[in-house]
Structure 1
Amino acid sequence: MFKGIGFLLIAIGYAGNYKKYLNNYKSHKSKENLLELIGISLIIVGTFVLGICYIFGE
């Protein structure tokens, strides 16, 4: 259960940085930034899902 809470906290931390990247993306709009946004969003979703699985799995 504690691992699950840790994963959720990491996901929330990434989500906080995600807003910064989103603002940067709006100002630059390059393909590299788009790929970075996709990568970060996958990390957020993956970490969030892992956290939920840990919490309900244990």
Structure 2
Amino acid sequence: RLREEMQARSPVPVRIPPPSLCTDNAAMIGAVGGHRLALGQRSPLAEDIFSTNDWARV
């Protein structure tokens, strides 16, 4: 429903790929990590990391 609402309200075409095409974002994560590293930003190794994706549906 949210997708349809976004498409209906947007003045420009909205293209939303299926979830199966949205699971591999390693390049984006690596690029952001590189930028943050260059800025001296670090996260503790004990940082909790979890996925919000329901992998059974993909």
Please state which band the TM-score falls in when normalised by the shorter chain.
0.3 to 0.5
Q: TM-score, normalised by structure 1?
A: 0.40
Q: TM-score, normalised by structure 2?
A: 0.40
Larger relative contact order (Cα-Cα within 8 Å, sequence gap ≥ 6): 1
